[in-house]
Each structure stands twice: as C-alpha cells, then as structure tokens.
Structure 1
Amino acid sequence: MGRLLRFGRGRRRPASQGAAGDADEAFAEALYREYHDPLLRVVLRLNGGDRQWAEDVVQETLLRAWRSAGALAGEERSLMAWLSTVARRLVIDDWRRRTARPPEVGEEPLRNVAARDGWEPLLQSIVMGEALKELSESHREILRETFFRDRTVNQAAEALGIPVGTVKSRVYYALRALRVILEERGVTA
C-alpha cells in the first residue's frame, strides 16, 4: 500500500478543519499524485478510450478512496488493485446506465420533424373531392366501384352491367383524367 496509506491509517474524517483538515488535504493530494495517471490508463482501456468519461471515473474512484481511507489503512493488499476494482465497477455501472435507456438528443432535431396535425388529410380529401367532380359521370362511377368500394374488375363489371374490357379502359382513362386535373391544381400524383 506504500507511503500513501500512512496518511489515512486509523484516521477518521474530522468534524472541523485545522490540522486534521490539512492531513485530509495532504492525503487527497498524495492520492491524486500517485494514482491518477496509472488509474486513468486502466480506465481508458476499460471504457474504450473515452477520455472525458475516464476522467470522471478516475475522479469518482479517488474520491471513494479518500472517503474510505480509514478502512483501507489496515489492508495488506495493493491500493492500486482496490482502485482498479472500484473503477471497473464504476465503468460497468455507467455502461449499464447508458444502455438501459435510449440516448438523449437535444431539441434541435425535433424542430425538423413534421407533426401530423390532421389538416393534411382533410385538405387532400377536399382537393380529391373537387377533382372527382370534374370527371365525367362514367369515370366517377368506375372509380367509385374499383377504388372506393375496393371491387375487382370482374366485380365492378358485374355491378355496372358492362364488359370487363370496358371497365379496364374506363379505369385507365379515368385515372389519366384525374391525374391531369390534380396536376392543374398543383398536386403531384
């Protein structure tokens, strides 16, 4: 455990500053000076090289060591092993916390997302209704049977009492006329 734990051996955190506060400060400085760099290298390997995250983990690890100085004083094992274990657990906990929920994003991308307000479908139905009124009765009738009532060509032919070939040609010409009307209104189909 080296020279560092002699600062913390058998001590309790003082209620007031003074000589004991100076010892706390000296212990924290020595802890940082001796273990910051080697612990940072360990954490960078653990977290895949994210330096900011590694610095946060090292700071938390050293803070925990400072708070546990009295308990660590009697240990015969290496302080670096204890620090590495604490840091590894912090990295694992942070990783679990980050992956437990979706990543947060700022508000900026949300401004570009189109919100459905119900007006667009209403306007489309009004434009479509007006365009259908401009079609001939036979074209409206064939579109009503095939598209709006969802009937097959054979079913529409039977319902209207006309040949299947006539249904097919009327659907073709009705859709073509509807496309022209919509394009005149600025609607692309």
Structure 2
Amino acid sequence: MPTDAQLLARISSDATGESLRALYRAYAGELYGFALNALGDRGTAEEIVQEVFTRAWRHAEAYDPTRGSVRTWLYQIARHAIIDQRRRASVRPALALHEPRDEQDPEGLSIERAMLGWQVAAALEKLTPEHRQVIRLAHVQGLSVKEIAERLELPEGTVKSRTWYALRSLRLVLEEMGVRA
C-alpha cells in the first residue's frame, strides 16, 4: 500500500484518479468535520473539502515532506480555504447553490461527485475565457440570458450562441478526458 506522500506524488500523472480517490477516502471525512466546525454550514463545508482536494491536485508538487505530513498539509490548505471563504462571505452574501442531498449520501461526500467536480473544473480551464465566463454566469451564478447580456453588454442572441458553443466545447473537452455524460 503506497504512503500518503507517494499517493500525492502520483496525483498529477494518475489518469485514473485512483491516487486522488485514495487520499480523498483517507481524509475527506475529517476535513469535512474540521470545515463544518469552523463554518457551521454543511454545504459550505462540502465546498471547502472539494476545494482542498482541487488545490492538492493542482499543486501536489508544492508538498514538502520536510515541513510535515500530507495530513498536516491538507489541513493547512483547508485552513486557508476556510479563511478565503470567510473573506468572501464578509464581502458579499453567500449564494444558495447547494444541490439537494442524495439520500444514499446524506453528507454529500460522494467520491464520484467530487471527482466529477474536479474534472469539470479542469475542463473549464481549457476553454476560452469567453466560454468560461458565460458558463460561470449561466450555470454557477444562475443568471438569465438577459442578465448575462446586460452584464457583458452583448446582444441576447450572442449570449445564447456563446452559451451553446461553450457547453459544446466543455462536453468535447470532458469526453477527451474520458468523462461521459
């Protein structure tokens, strides 16, 4: 069985995601408890856990074993994510973007759901800035076509076509990554 440090070292080159899944299984529960205790909101705590593993995946090379264990490093990432969340919450009210809970997974800590979130985040980074922007406005912030058009100072028809092409591009990138809808 590989050590946590070995799993972390393999994350960026592991196309199957097994290394990340193993670390997630080992630490997601306790990180969730840490975030829930700090923030008092289940949905936000879930987002923090996802953010921790997204950052760990993107910046696995930043881990320095001489400065502590993988567990300590993950908690440090969680602490920073919690601080970031508190800053955001103090600047603007939190958006209610939480999905309904799955009865089989009441805490929302499904590994597959988290992996899909990371894969979508990675796929979004491969899109053009215009496509990324319109997807975030429509599907993350929940703005209407009219609201997006006003914000971007574009005709509504342009917003509709840009959204359609952005979603098509996202679907193609996800398929290239091996993610099937």
TM-score (norm 2): 0.45
Computing the radius of gyration over CA atoms, which structure comes out larger, 1 or 2? 1
